[in-house]
């Protein structure tokens, strides 16, 4: 069974999507439609901009979404997914590829999400850090010990065994990093991000996204879509909408998600979008689960 997976913020690179634009008429049409919807020429930044321009959240998230979804649409006749999933932002790419959202509605939701998350970052200063080579339980307990009501840190991204990202107030994240280094973490690296994604600091963004989702039409996807909030497969529109809203302030359960896809019979994982970060994570998860799988890039 084939599982298609879609990356999130951080996978972007200057030049992304330019080959699609130049070689596929449908890609050029969709990119130009995206420029109209967004109200600025995101293609100029994606194809020929600077790293600093591209890494702005309001640009990054639509750019990664566009590259992922348009790449899928250009090559979808090659094969159909039996299941799909996306990491953080990539969940909206997965839902669009699976037909739960139209291209236009998916892009509008991504744009709303990006703008709202940037505003939340400006309102609630925070950061994130990657913790390498410690058991999840140690990181979870340390976050609880360090957190107070007004200064918190939580596990944010369960990426794969031995790699967990924490998120929260700057002071709490720094304290947790110091404690986790003492506990034996190989690395506790504060990430160059603009805020505390997937934590309660994103509550203002969650409110904005919920309003946008309430006015958006969702369809039954063509295959089960595994969601970050609970790691489980979903096909019902109301469940999908509720999980999307909760995702902004809760942990991304990627390890659990991939494990559940493996248990459901996934034996081939194809990453669709910029970069290959998810492929490395999936390889580690499959190894931990003692599963042999094929891992590659869709459309190549």
Q: How far apart are CA 57 and CA 114, in angstroms?
A: 6
Contact criterion met (CB below 8 Å) for 258 and 282: yes
Do 199 and 156 touch, CB atoms closer than 8 A? yes
Q: Which of 90, 48, 46, 41 is nearest to 65 (CA)?
A: 90
Burial level of 181, CB count in 10 A (0-12/13-18/19+)?
middle
Short-list 111, 110, 107, 173, CA closest to 139: 173
Instruction: Yes or no: say if 244 and 227 are a contact pair by the CB < 8 Å rule.
Output: yes
> Choosing from 198, 199, 250, 251, which is the catalytic residue?
198
* Residue found by looking up tokens 């003692």 in the block: 290
**Residue 234 designated active-site:** no
Long-range Cβ contact pairs of 214-217 (< 8 A, separation 24 or more): 216/101, 216/105, 216/108, 216/109, 217/102, 217/105
Of 67, 87, 88, 93, catalytic: 88
Burial class (CB within 10 angstroms; exposed 0-12, middle 13-18, buried 19+) of 208: middle
Sign, Cα dihedral of 260, 265, 267, 269: negative
Respond yes or no: is residue 88 known to be catalytic.
yes
Contact present, 68 and 277 (Cβ < 8 Å): no
Distance separating alpha carbons of residues 262 and 269, to the nearest angstrom: 10
For Cα atoms 121, 226, 278, give the angle at the middle one, nearest 5 degrees: 65
Q: Which residues are catalytic?
A: 88, 198
């Amino acid at each position: 069974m084939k599982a298609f997976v879609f990356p999130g913020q951080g996978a972007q690179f200057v030049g992304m999507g330019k080959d699609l634009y130049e070689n596929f008429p449908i890609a050029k049409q969709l990119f130009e439609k995206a420029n109209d919807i967004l109200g600025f020429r995101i293609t100029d930044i994606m194809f020929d901009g600077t790293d600093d321009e591209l890494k702005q959240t309001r640009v990054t998230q639509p750019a990664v979404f566009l590259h992922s979804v348009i790449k899928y649409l250009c090559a979808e006749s090659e094969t159909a997914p039996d299941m799909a999933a996306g990491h953080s932002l990539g969940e909206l790419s997965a839902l669009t590829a699976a037909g739960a959202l139209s291209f236009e509605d998916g892009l509008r939701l991504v744009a709303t999400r990006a703008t709202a998350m940037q505003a939340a970052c400006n309102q609630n200063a925070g950061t994130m850090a990657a913790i390498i080579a410690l058991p999840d339980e140690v990181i979870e307990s340390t976050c609880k010990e360090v957190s107070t009501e007004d200064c918190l840190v939580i596990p944010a991204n369960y990426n794969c065994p031995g790699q967990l990202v924490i998120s929260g107030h700057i002071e709490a994240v720094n304290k947790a990093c110091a404690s986790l280094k003492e506990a034996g973490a190989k690395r506790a690296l504060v990430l160059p991000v603009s805020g505390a994604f997937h934590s309660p600091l994103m509550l203002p963004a969650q409110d904005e996204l919920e309003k946008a989702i309430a006015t958006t039409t969702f369809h039954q996807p063509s295959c089960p879509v595994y969601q970050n909030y609970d790691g489980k497969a979903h096909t019902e529109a109301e469940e999908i909408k509720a999980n999307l809203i909760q995702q902004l302030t809760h942990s991304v359960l990627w390890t659990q998600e991939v494990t559940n896809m493996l248990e459901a019979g996934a034996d081939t994982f194809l990453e669709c979008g910029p970069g290959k970060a998810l492929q490395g994570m999936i390889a580690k998860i499959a190894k931990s689960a003692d599963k042999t799988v094929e891992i590659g890039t869709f459309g190549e």
